[in-house]
Structure formats: C-alpha cells, structure tokens
Chain A
Amino acid sequence: MSNQIAEANWKFHWRLTESAGIMIYLADYRGRRVLWEGSLPYVTVDHQRETLEVEGDPGDAHGPWWVPLGARTLQGPVRVQAFRGGVELSAVFASGPYNYTQLWRFHDDGRLCPWLTIYGPGIHDQHTYHPHWRFDFDLDGARHDAIERFEDGRWQRVDHEGWFPYSGEADEHGNVWRQVELGSGAVLAIRPHSWDDAELFAIRYHDGEWAPYSPRSAAGAQTFPAAYVGDEPLDGDDVTLWYVAHVHFSQSFPYTAGPSIKVSGLGLAG
C-alpha cells in the first residue's frame, strides 16, 4: 500500500511510528502546504481512588503509565477508507485492558480530524486518559505564524509560549484556538470536543524539541510538552502546537477524543 494519498482535495503521506501512532506528514490542501507533520506521541493513563472521605483520601497513590502506540501494539493493518466527502486512515492499538483506535479524517471542505477512540475496561473504573497530539502546521511556509485564542468575546493574540486551557468560551463555530499565517492571512481553526476538557500548548519550534519518546523528562520535573514551555515570543516564528485531552472513564465508553481542525483563507482557486 502506498503511503501517499491524494483524495478529497488533500495530498498527504503517512507512516507508522515506533510510539506515536500513525504520523501524517507533508499534507497539502488544494496544493497548498498545511501540515509538516502531526502525530500522537502518547496517551498517559492516571488512576484515582474512589472515596468520599476528604481527610482519608490518599490522592493519586501511583503515578501515570502509558504504552507506545506503534508496531508493538498495532492490531491488524492500517486502513485507508473513503467516506462521503473525504478519506480516513484508521489503526487499532491494544495492550491488555487498554484499546485505542487512532483516526485521521480528511474532509474535502478543508477539515482535518485527528481523533482517538478509547475503549477497553482499564484495570478499574477510576481512571483518566490523557491523549497528547503534536502538530507542526506550516501554513504557506514554516515562519510567519501567530497563535490566537478566543477570549472575552474576541480573538486575542498569544504573544508568548504557554499553556492555554479551554475556558468554555468559543467563537460561533466552536473554535477556541487558531493559527494564523501572517503573510497570507490563512487560518487554521481548532475546535475541541466539548467533553475533552482540552488544553493547548503553543511552543516555538527548536531543534531537539522533537516529539519525545516518553512523557517523562527528568525525575520530579514537568512532563512533556510542559517541559518545553518557556517564555519565548511566538509572533512571526515557527510554532508547534500540542492538543491534550483529559477523558475520565465512564460506562458510556467508547469515547472519541480529539479536535476538529479547519483550514481556510489560503486564497484557493475554486
């Protein structure tokens, strides 16, 4: 199977990584570059104790854990399927009581949906999933990026690197964050799922700050991507975005987490 797909106005490539699921790279929409690469570096799982006693609550007694989403946990082949108005890739990963279906959906109207369906019982009910997506969008080039968030009823520029949780406020389309290409004015709008309890990290690109092979940085230090966050200005530079969802397990599982992303304003013909 070729790893290049040209369908539904998109042309992109994919490959299975060692630990970050299916990676999409060099994705163009109607002939214009949108994404350098995007992947799902990891999904951590936290456990909580079920107690109503505040004083006796031990908190999180144990740390988080995770399994690499890659060849070692892949179940069956990576599937490429057309659907009405688009094309999607899907891959199933399993490790004991944890099961995931990773999806990349490309719509002909410019929407891109990197999603993760989470299922499986876990080792008990009180646990929370934290899928981490990393995107290196290159709208019409790597530089000239700006990040904005919808706050106080309008889009506001994010000047410096940081962590930007979803506060419940969104524009009329449900978009909370967006990446703007300062030269062309093209926009990549990011709409979180209402129940993702999502947050976005915006980080200036640096060599070496590639997708990590573990959430762990040094013992006792912040995990990634927080460990990459400093106080550098973002305006006009190359920015990487991390979308993190926090999904508590419930009887209603399976649950599909992940953002809907739409590219617009590329000045496309037709």
Chain B
Amino acid sequence: MASSKKPVKVARALKAKPKPPPVRPRAPARKAPEQELSQTDPALFDPLTPGEVADALRTLTEDRRLAAMAKVGRYRVICTEPLVVKPPHWMAGHRLVRAVAFDSAADRTVDACVDLDAGVVAHLELTGAQPMLSRDEEALAVSIAMVDDRVRDQLALGDTPQSTLHYWGRSPDDLAFARRSAAVVFGRSDGHASIVAVVDLLENIVTQVVPAEQW
C-alpha cells in the first residue's frame, strides 16, 4: 500500500514541479535622459483648463501644511500656470501646476507645485518673498487711491489712473520696503503723468502722494 502511495507522491511531486517564474510584464526600458528630454510631450506646457486650476487649488488648500491659511481665508491666489520638469525627475511627464498665493494673515508667499496626476502638493515653499500683485489687488489699489483726499486734491482736469505698478521701497524707513504695495500713476490720456500714489495693500491706505516729475 505504501508503494501505491509512491506514485501519488510522484504524481504530487510532478504536480508540484516548480512553476516557471510568473511572466511579469516587462517595464519599458528606461530611455537615456537625453532621449526622454527630446521626447517631452509639448502638451504638458499647455495652458491649464478651468478644471485643472480648480483641482490644483482644491489640492493646495487641503494640504495640512496650509491648513491655517485655508482656515483663516485671508489669502489671494496670484497665479496658476503649468509647470514642466525634466527627466529624470520622478515627476517628469506628470501634469503639474505651479500655484502662487499670498497669505496676508501670515504675510508670506506660498509657492507650490501641485501634481495633478498624483493629487498631491509635490513641492511647497513658504517665503517672505513678494509675488506680483493679482489683478484684484491692482484694481483695489486704484479704488483706494481714487477716494483719497490728498490724491483728489492734486488731480487736474482729465487726470485718470493710467497704470498700476508693482512697487517696493528701497529704504527701511519706507512702509513699502517690507509691505505689499502698489504705485498708481495718474495722468492724461496722451501719456503725460501727473501724480503717483503709493498704496499699502495690507492697511488699504495711501501712504505717499508724489508729483510725477519728482518721483
């Protein structure tokens, strides 16, 4: 009887013959970085769709590191643009968004790279740098300057806001040295400038009114 088991054993042994190693789908051979670089998909540079912008900002504001900013809600998104990184960076080939915001409550800039493919904030810098003004801030600076008595007193007939410049002061004595500021140039439509009003965008006040020729 014992011998009758042997075949079984043999049979089992045969059945238990080690299987050939599972055939895994072979990962495509990694190309040389130079080759990958030359084959970068130009579509990665394409302008963001409204949905991609929304997706990036949702991801950004859900990031734990920015919870305080999102909760207080005193921030402005300055811009969102596509960002493309080169091979062999692990994010190469991903749809990335560079999102820059200014957090007024903390007086700091948020400069982030959001990976839309992975749904994460892949790079985050919190700095004391001052990004450009948003269009809303430019419009706000004009509206603040327009109602300031010192500005109104110095405007000549036909003077209107001509331009809103992104400005910072050179001297530490100047409020605009460290604070978010704009300079609104007033003048005539023929290009002649009359006065410059410096607006502090944290306090929403005009801090200087200077005749243009003395700027």
Show the binding face of A for B, using Cβ within 8 Å: 4, 13, 15, 17-19, 25-26, 28, 33, 36-37, 45, 47, 60-68, 72, 95-98, 120-124, 138, 140-143, 207-208, 210, 212-214, 216-220, 238
- Alpha-carbon separation in the docked complex, A63 to B167 (Å): 7
Q: Is the CB of B34 within 8 A of A219?
A: no
- Alpha-carbon separation in the docked complex, A45 to B127 (Å): 24
User: CB within 8 A of B130: which of A17, A95, A142, A216?
Assistant: A216
Residue from A62, A207, A212 whose CB has the most chain B CB atoms within 10 Å: A62
Would you list 12 pairs from A and B whose C-beta atoms are within 8 A, ordered by A residue? A61-B215, A63-B167, A63-B168, A63-B174, A95-B163, A207-B85, A207-B123, A212-B129, A216-B168, A217-B128, A217-B129, A220-B178
- Alpha-carbon separation in the docked complex, A238 to B34 (Å): 12
A-B contacts at CB below 8 angstroms, number: 145
Q: Is the CB of A15 within 8 A of B45?
A: yes
Contact residues of B: prevailing secondary structure? mixed
What B residues does A68 contact at CB under 8 A? 132, 166
With A97-B187, A216-B129, A218-B127 already in contact, the answer to whether A138 and B37 are too (CB < 8 A) is: yes
Of all chain A residues, which has the CB nearest B86?
A142
- Alpha-carbon separation in the docked complex, A109 to B181 (Å): 46
- Alpha-carbon separation in the docked complex, A214 to B166 (Å): 9
Stretch at the interface among B1-9, B14-22, B56-64, B75-83: B75-83
With A96-B185, A220-B177 already in contact, the answer to whether A36 and B163 are too (CB < 8 A) is: no
Of all chain A residues, which has the CB nearest B80?
A18
Show the binding face of B for A, using Cβ within 8 Å: 33-34, 37-38, 40, 42, 45-47, 78-79, 81, 83-87, 89, 98, 100, 111, 113, 123, 125, 127-132, 135, 138, 162-170, 172, 174, 176-178, 183, 185, 187, 191-193, 196, 210, 212-213, 215
Q: Is the CB of A96 within 8 A of B45?
A: no
- Shortest CB–CB separation between residue B172 and chain A, in angstroms? 7
Contacts A67-B164, A207-B113 known; list 20 others, CB within 8 Å. A18-B81, A18-B132, A33-B37, A37-B45, A47-B215, A63-B176, A65-B166, A96-B185, A96-B187, A96-B191, A97-B162, A97-B187, A121-B191, A123-B185, A123-B213, A124-B215, A208-B123, A214-B129, A217-B127, A220-B178
What A residues does B34 contact at CB under 8 A? 140-142
Q: Is the CB of B165 within 8 A of A65?
A: yes
- Shortest CB–CB separation between residue B7 and chain A, in angstroms? 64
With A208-B125, A220-B172 already in contact, the answer to whether A213 and B213 are too (CB < 8 A) is: no
Residue from B83, B131, B168 whose CB has the most chain A CB atoms within 10 Å: B168
Q: Is the CB of B86 within 8 A of A17?
A: no
What B residues does A219 contact at CB under 8 A? 128, 130, 168, 177-178
Of all chain B residues, which has the CB nearest A16?
B47
- Shortest CB–CB separation between residue A90 and chain B, in angstroms? 20
What B residues does A62 contact at CB under 8 A? 167, 169-170, 174, 210, 215
What A residues does B185 contact at CB under 8 A? 96-97, 123
What B residues does A217 contact at CB under 8 A? 127-129
Q: Is the CB of B42 within 8 A of A213?
A: no
What A residues does B113 contact at CB under 8 A? 207
What B residues does A120 contact at CB under 8 A? 191
